[in-house]
Amino acid sequence: MSKRMDMPKESGYDAWLHYRRDRHVKQMPAWCRVIVVHETDDEVLQTAASELQQGLASMFGQQPKISTVPAHEPFVALGTFQDHPCVAERFSAEEQAEVSAEGYRIRGVEVSELAGLTGQDHADIKGRCVTVAGQTSKGVLYGVFHLLRYLQGGLDGKLKSTAKQSLHAPILDLLSNPANPIRMINHWDNMDGSVERGYAGASIFYNNNAFTTNMERLRDYARLLASVGIQALSINNVNVHQVETELITDRFLPDVAKVAAIFRAYGIQIYLSINYASPIQLGGLTTADPLDPDVAEWWQTKAREIYAAVPDLGGFVVKADSENRPGPFSYGRHHADGANMLADALRPYGGRVIWRCFVYDCKQDWRDRKTDRARAAFDHFKPLDGLFRDNVILQIKNGPMDFQVREPVSPLFGALEATQVLLEFQIAQEYTGQQKHLCYLVPQWKEVLDFDTYAQGKGSTIKRIVSGALHNSSNSNSHRGKAIVHANSGSLQEKPTHHIPKPTNFGIAAVSNIGADTNWTGHLLAQSNLYGYGRLAWDPDLSADEIADEWVRLTFSGQGKDNGDTELIPTIKQMLLDSWNIYESYTAPLGVGWMVSPNHHYGPDVDGYEYSMWGTYHFADCWGIGVDRTTATGTGYAGHYFPPVAGIYESIDSCPDELLLFFHHVPYTHVLHSGQTVIQHIYDTHFEGAERAAHLHATWISLREQLHETIYEQVLTRLEHQAEHAEEWRDRINTYFYRKSGIPDEKNRPIY
Amino acid sequence: MSKRMDMPKESGYDAWLHYRRDRHVKQMPAWCRVIVVHETDDEVLQTAASELQQGLASMFGQQPKISTVPAHEPFVALGTFQDHPCVAERFSAEEQAEVSAEGYRIRGVEVSELAGLTGQDHADIKGRCVTVAGQTSKGVLYGVFHLLRYLQGGLDGKLKSTAKQSLHAPILDLLSNPANPIRMINHWDNMDGSVERGYAGASIFYNNNAFTTNMERLRDYARLLASVGIQALSINNVNVHQVETELITDRFLPDVAKVAAIFRAYGIQIYLSINYASPIQLGGLTTADPLDPDVAEWWQTKAREIYAAVPDLGGFVVKADSENRPGPFSYGRHHADGANMLADALRPYGGRVIWRCFVYDCKQDWRDRKTDRARAAFDHFKPLDGLFRDNVILQIKNGPMDFQVREPVSPLFGALEATQVLLEFQIAQEYTGQQKHLCYLVPQWKEVLDFDTYAQGKGSTIKRIVSGALHNSSNSNSHRGKAIVHANSGSLQEKPTHHIPKPTNFGIAAVSNIGADTNWTGHLLAQSNLYGYGRLAWDPDLSADEIADEWVRLTFSGQGKDNGDTELIPTIKQMLLDSWNIYESYTAPLGVGWMVSPNHHYGPDVDGYEYSMWGTYHFADCWGIGVDRTTATGTGYAGHYFPPVAGIYESIDSCPDELLLFFHHVPYTHVLHSGQTVIQHIYDTHFEGAERAAHLHATWISLREQLHETIYEQVLTRLEHQAEHAEEWRDRINTYFYRKSGIPDEKNRPIY
């Protein structure tokens, strides 16, 4: 069933699901020798039982029995509150009601029953089953993965425990509901097998303009995703090229259905990226105008065909009028026209339209300092707020530019009051070292999620906006918002809100970082970003530290030659936690971004995008650097935020150092809050950054004896490259600014 | 026979061989109604007769007869001095002896006989035949093309005539011998159909890893080449990839033979670029060490196979130990070891080894200012002078870098005293506008050819070096040179010279600028570079103006709607003559070079190669710019030249402005000989350059009524693009230097 068996041990293929056997445990604990699950043809529940069975077998060297009836021996019970009395009976009606659609409860033995007993007695106590329960089988599946995490010792950050507890009947009693209704991953895979911005080998979905035949690999991927709560997956690149345009035709729909079936068993819904010009390219129409009745009809017919093949398709992801992709602009229509027409076609089948806001002028004139790419998404979409159907979701990148190592949050979050939104992160390290450099991105994502927009006063954090919580509360508490447009409103006019549905069309999406490399992510440590993304999408309140702790434990616990986890776990965790800051320090300074080689975006090129048409400038001259985005003298972008944020960015005195050059053009001699001048800050951070990259490398070498050889070597070569490449970054950035400013380094270090 | 017939009129396909009919000529002049040629199976002589027949037919609307015996009517006779008494009898023994192997004499009616006669009488005069004669049939062929040029009115620059003269029996009496024994074109075509640095469509030789089946196109290409005296052609890229490595195997040799046959009929010898690692890749040997007897034997066997298939193959072109190509360095051997081993294998068949000197460290550290790529060819090859076999020729690029718009000449010319050399030009406009910008390169080539190296005192011009004339005179007049090593010397030791052969292994090669575009060169006006290269290789004493005049007349005479040549010819000629200077003025200033986008080399990117490993730096900082290549304080490159050249370049006071930044690092405020500062020179030339590019465009528009529509449009779109792109160059270069220097333009023009 699984490709895993064919893979070499410690190749990284099992990622955080390796379920290593602890050599100190001689036999399987009594409580988990039987798994009780109601007879069912619910695939996801079957998956849950099977995952638990396999996981326990791997950890304890013995296969638990699956039984449909409770035994007299201890057991672990799985199911929804409806499935099985032995599940339901452990939770009060109130406790059951607290569980959301995809949430779960896990209850182990009661703590009170343990008083005075030693571990060996646990098998004999009353109330001795462990129960994993949900409203739905998906909830149960997530609960099972939680339980397995717990048992692996890579414990949920909130559930500290000792190794001893994890071996015996778990003393758990917990409720977990996902914060975000949609927890999605976007693949930028092309059918020729390439992956746009892919840094871990070829596509696992396609090769040679056909679907893969390696369904085991897809199933193993589904496991990884489900284990961290991902339940939505778009399987092709948002830039939909010629062959991929045909994914919604007979040529490929049978294949899409096969892939959907694999992911369905893990509770994951498939989405397709579509080509907005399909009516022309596939349908032979002369137009793709969203207001043309033939176009609307073409999409309705097409939707019928698609849903006949894949009845539970999530819907479409659409990149339109962006970077030369076709869209409604060609016909003088706006994005809402385009999205709503598609939404109406998908509505009968429960499908969603996820419409990307990454829209800007990619043929900008670098001479023109008034046009500001950072403004583009806001300028395009803010005026359309309230005009979208209730099955349209706008997908907004975390920042206004494009996944730079440092950007402010997109001001669209909060500004769209009557529109459903998805936050878009990029797990793929396009601008953050391309999985050759270590860059644990969870701290960056945390800063975004915790950012307070003040859209509805203090506490209007991004995480509350994208989860729908703020929308929900604002719409029930007040009527300041405009309504999401319901299909039968039949008009794009603004309407007062009457009925506000439960906001299920909110959440987070992220661009995948995996590929056909054996360890999925190329850089083994980049698995932490996939893991962390899923965990954070489930629970944005987890800290970067907690998530790193979980991932390192799950990945490395017990893998070393001498189980020397005491040093291994905290050391690797610290490497992760330091890595974003290290990467930032030797690349583009103070939030200015870019400075990478055009096209492939790897490696330093300070002027690489300076005179291009992409709208990405730093305006460095011999006096200073930075982009004036103030309302007073600049592009006005700072004014897109709510007060007090707008004011903080507007003023050079209050603007945080790390975003200074994003918002202001300053002389090199400007003194930062840190007390350092801008130029000396550039020199210092770049020298330090390269040193710290070298230290990451040295640290890894120090762990050699505690790591399996193949794992050690995999990571070693990348850290080695990173250390060298950080020196190249250091020297090129420092030299560029020294040559330009003429101001020498105070510490007189080598600059060329 | 010819593809020409299928092509639309005025597509540019006929290039300078269109032989338009002059509407003023009502009937064929008497003197050319019969072509007398000896019965022969000499293919080249047949070609000559056939070309003359076709050309005359096209110009006069009537097919001349071909006859083996002189008629009583006037006739035109072709042949070698040996072929036919009516050819030989018109030249004295002395006159015959003055003709070299590939030269020719043409003698028309005697001037004295014309005294007092009007045109109509010409047919009746005595001595009334026109004779084209040579030592060889190749000479006759070149003579025929000369005669046709003359008749077309696009007269040889040395033979001014009136339209009237060209219509009637030509009053010619001329001798023409080619200056350069080898006049070669190098194709950088790959078998997948791509052309490295090709700007005129796909390869005409290959597609889809096979040879073309379009032999008519090859034949038409052969005509173009032969018409300007080209007689050597390498047919595959010097970077020999996997498939092309097999060109010397049974897989492709039959195809090579077919292609060779086509070019043979036009007197052109084929060469192949070979992969130095062939013994490993094809032969299964473990080494390609030139001193390994198995390797030498493998090549000897291989040569036997190759020459069995193509008995008159010219030989091999070899790029070894250059830009990651394999070569003798891998085995601790030097270039002479590598070249001589191959030369010995080819010697029995009269084959040559053309060994490229484009060897440098392409993994240089930009931080290291001591390593100088400009030094590389000299440093590698000067020590090997005198060690090469007499069928080895070193091919040296005109400058020390790589075909920049402005470079000094390579100091290897003249420094190699006992080595046969080919000068390498690039007709393809890799760094000079890629056939989107107009850049007539003949003036640049003329500067190179006329440059006096002072290698053996005043008059040691490049053209005398590459033609072998200097070598010849120095070896006959003195014994200061070391000898070219003869095969049976059997040793790499220096030897005193005893027998100096006639230097036939000298000459000029150039990288092709043609492709499968209908008009061959993409930019129609870029045909002038192919034409001009051929003419210059034949006669380096022709001026750029004379060649432009010829080409414009041949291409445009009588093509306009109203034959309005009076304005057309001088206007287009002036556009050509101005174009190199215009291109130089808006691109990299003062000889510093590069400043182009990496990889594709098109468009401005001032720092594009500044921090790369390619050895191509300008070192611009806020104070100044340029590369110190002096012996006093720099890399010492200037010392590679002979005095007084070395001294001229060494001193900032005597170094010519146009090469200042190639040899010196100077402040922006340095005052040029022109009286302008460096920075103001940059601003001025860039503003002027863009204006002049716009003027080219406007000038072309002014010619609209006089040009055929398709020709007009073809060129118009390119000049339009050039004018726009020149503004981009202007603004990027100016902005870069203003931002860097902080020095404003004196004239306060817009800089960003």
Q: Does B727 touch chain A (CB under 8 A)?
A: no
Active site residue A713: no
Question: What is the distance between the alpha carbons of residues B749 and A665, in angstroms, rounded to a whole number?
Answer: 23
**Helices in B439-595 by DSSP H: which ranges?**
442-450, 462-466, 469-477, 527-538, 544-556, 565-586
**Looking at the domain assignment, is residue B292 inside a domain?**
yes
Total beta-carbon pairs less than 8 A apart between chain A and chain B: 49
Yes or no, beta carbons of B622 and A741 under 8 Å apart: yes
What is the pLDDT averaged over residues B356-379? 95
CB contacts, 8 Å: A604 with chain B: 611
Task: Judge contact between A392 and A476, C-beta under 8 A.
Answer: no
Cα dihedral: A237, A242, A247, A252 (round 10): -130
What is the pLDDT averaged over residues B704-713? 92
Yes or no, beta carbons of B740 and A740 under 8 Å apart: yes
Task: Judge contact between B3 and B221, C-beta under 8 A.
Answer: no
What is the pLDDT averaged over residues B604-627? 97
Q: What is the pLDDT of residue B288?
A: 96
**Helices in B137-274 by DSSP H: which ranges?**
137-152, 163-167, 215-227, 242-245, 253-264
Yes or no, beta carbons of B739 and A621 under 8 Å apart: yes
Yes or no, beta carbons of B604 and A623 under 8 Å apart: no
Q: Does A741 touch chain B (CB under 8 A)?
A: yes
Q: What is the pLDDT of residue A69?
A: 84
Question: What is the distance between the alpha carbons of residues B646 and B649, in angstroms, rounded to a whole number?
Answer: 5
Phi-psi map region of A287: left, alpha, beta (phi>0 left; psi -120 to 50 alpha): beta
ipTM (interface pTM): 0.89
Report the first-to-last Cα separation within chain A, whole angstroms: 57
Question: What is the distance between the alpha carbons of residues B509 and A248, in angstroms, rounded to a whole number?
Answer: 55
Distance from CA of A43 to the nearest CA of B (A): 49
List the single residue in A with minimal CA-CA distance to B752.
A367
Peptide bond into A643 cis (omega under 30): no
What is the pLDDT averaged over residues B77-106? 93
Quickly list DSSP for B693-749: HHHHHHHHHHTGGGS-HHHHHHHHHHHHHHHHHHHHHHHHHHHHHHHHH-PPPTT--
Verify that A600 and A623 share a domain, yes or no.
Answer: yes
List the single residue in B606, B611, B742 with the smallest CB-CB distance to A622. Answer: B742
Q: Does residue B594 surpass a pLDDT of 90?
A: yes
Verify that A466 and A583 share a domain, yes or no.
Answer: no
Residue A67: its H or E element: strand A65-67
Task: Identify which of A614, A663, A654 has the alpha carbon closest to the alpha carbon of residue A636.
Answer: A663
Yes or no, beta carbons of A738 and B621 under 8 Å apart: yes
Verify that B173 and B257 share a domain, yes or no.
Answer: no
What is the pLDDT averaged over residues B434-440? 98
Task: Identify which of A569, A452, A741 has the alpha carbon closest to the alpha carbon of residue A154.
Answer: A569
Question: What is the distance between the alpha carbons of residues A551 and A534, in angstroms, rounded to a whole number?
Answer: 11
Please identify which residue in the block is written with the tokens 């290269």.
B533
Domain boundary among B157, B177, B197: B177
Question: What is the distance between the alpha carbons of residues B666 and B657, in angstroms, rounded to a whole number?
Answer: 12
Q: What is the pLDDT of residue A172?
A: 80
Verify that B269 and B164 share a domain, yes or no.
Answer: no
Q: At what angle do helices B544-556 and B442-450 cross, to 10 degrees?
A: 150
Chain centroid, CA B63 distance in Å:
34
Q: Does residue B220 surpass a pLDDT of 60?
A: yes
List the single residue in A367, A605, A739 with the smallest CB-CB distance to B752. Answer: A367
Please identify which residue in the block is written with the tokens 């080494």.
B287
Verify that B196 and B156 share a domain, yes or no.
Answer: no
Q: Which two tokens stand for residue B317?
A: 């072109």
Q: What is the pLDDT of residue A118?
A: 47
Based on its alpha-carbon atoms, the radius of gyration of chain B, rounded to whole angstroms, reads: 26
CB contacts, 8 Å: B679 with chain A: none
pLDDT band for position B476 (50/70/90)? low
Number of domains observed in the structure of chain A: 3
Task: Identify which of B579, B560, B590, B581 has the alpha carbon closest to the alpha carbon of residue B671.
Answer: B590
**Which is more confident, B204 or B111?**
B204
**Looking at the domain assignment, is residue A204 inside a domain?**
yes
- Secondary structure tally for chain A: helices H, strands E: 23, 18
Q: What is the pLDDT of residue A653?
A: 97
Q: What is the pLDDT of residue B226?
A: 98
Interface test with B, best of A618, A622, A737 (most B CBs within 10 A): A622
Domain boundary among A177, A206, A228: A177
What part of B 273-312 touches A (C-beta under 8 Å)? none
Verify that B161 and B217 share a domain, yes or no.
Answer: no
Q: What is the pLDDT of residue B20?
A: 84
List the single residue in B367, B620, B623 with the smallest CB-CB distance to A742. Answer: B623
List the single residue in B620, B738, B742 with the smallest CB-CB distance to A739. Answer: B620
Verify that B158 and B299 share a domain, yes or no.
Answer: no
Q: Does A731 touch chain B (CB under 8 A)?
A: yes
What is the pLDDT averaged over residues B256-279? 98
Query: b/e string for B133-148 if b means 16 or more Cβ within 10 A?
Result: bbbbbbbbbbbbbbbb
Interface test with A, best of B622, B665, B679 (most A CBs within 10 A): B622
Strand locations in B294-389, DSSP E? 315-318, 352-356
- Residues paired with residue B105 on neighbouring β-strands, in sequence order: B133, B175
**Looking at the domain assignment, is residue A500 inside a domain?**
no
| Residues in Cβ contact with A670 at an 8 Å cutoff, skipping those fewer than 6 apart | A624, A652, A660, A677, A678
Verify that A198 and A145 share a domain, yes or no.
Answer: no
* Chain segment B548-589, per-residue pLDDT in tens: 999 999 998 876 555 456 789 999 999 999 999 999 999 999
Distance from CA of A174 to the nearest CA of B (A): 57
pLDDT band for position B109 (50/70/90)? low
For residue B115, the tally of other CB atoms under 10 A from its CB is: 7
Q: What is the pLDDT of residue B298?
A: 98
Q: Does residue B146 surpass a pLDDT of 50?
A: yes
Verify that B171 and B301 share a domain, yes or no.
Answer: no
Q: Which two tokens stand for residue B645?
A: 């050249």
Check which CATH number belongs to the domain holding B251 and give it.
Answer: 3.20.20.80
Verify that A162 and A264 share a domain, yes or no.
Answer: no
What is the pLDDT averaged over residues B285-301? 97
**Looking at the domain assignment, is residue B558 inside a domain?**
no
Q: What is the pLDDT of residue A471?
A: 86
**Domain containing B155: what range?**
3-177
Task: Judge contact between B719 and B702, C-beta under 8 A.
Answer: no
Check which CATH number belongs to the domain holding B118 and give it.
Answer: 3.30.379.10
Question: What is the distance between the alpha carbons of residues A650 and B51, in angstroms, rounded to a whole number?
Answer: 78
Question: What is the distance between the alpha carbons of residues B158 and B535, in angstroms, rounded to a whole number?
Answer: 12
Quickly list DSSP for B128-143: --EEEEESSHHHHHHH
Yes or no, beta carbons of A367 and B623 under 8 Å apart: no
| Rounded alpha-carbon distances, angstroms, from residue A203 to A195, A196, A515, A556 | 6, 10, 5, 27
- Residues paired with residue B359 on neighbouring β-strands, in sequence order: none
Interface test with A, best of B594, B597, B607 (most A CBs within 10 A): B607
Q: Does residue B389 surpass a pLDDT of 80?
A: yes
Verify that B310 and B231 share a domain, yes or no.
Answer: yes
For residue B600, the tally of other CB atoms under 10 A from its CB is: 10
**Looking at the domain assignment, is residue B650 inside a domain?**
no
* B218 burial type by CB count under 10 A (0-12 exposed, 13-18 middle, 19+ buried): buried
Active site residue B705: no
Yes or no, beta carbons of A742 and B604 under 8 Å apart: no
**Looking at the domain assignment, is residue B226 inside a domain?**
yes
Strands A232-234 and B206-207: unpaired
Q: What is the pLDDT of residue A565?
A: 64
* A541 burial type by CB count under 10 A (0-12 exposed, 13-18 middle, 19+ buried): middle
Helix (H, G, I), strand (E, B) or coil at B107: strand
Identity at B265, one-letter amino acid code: A
Question: What is the distance between the alpha carbons of residues A491 and A387, in angstroms, rounded to a whole number?
Answer: 9
**Looking at the domain assignment, is residue B700 inside a domain?**
no
Domain boundary among B514, B535, B554: B514
Verify that A159 and A254 share a domain, yes or no.
Answer: no
**Looking at the domain assignment, is residue A640 inside a domain?**
no
Residues of chain A with pLDDT under 50: 1-2, 111-126, 154-167, 477-481, 489-501, 563
Yes or no, beta carbons of B605 and A604 under 8 Å apart: no
Interface test with A, best of B363, B364, B366, B367 (most A CBs within 10 A): B367
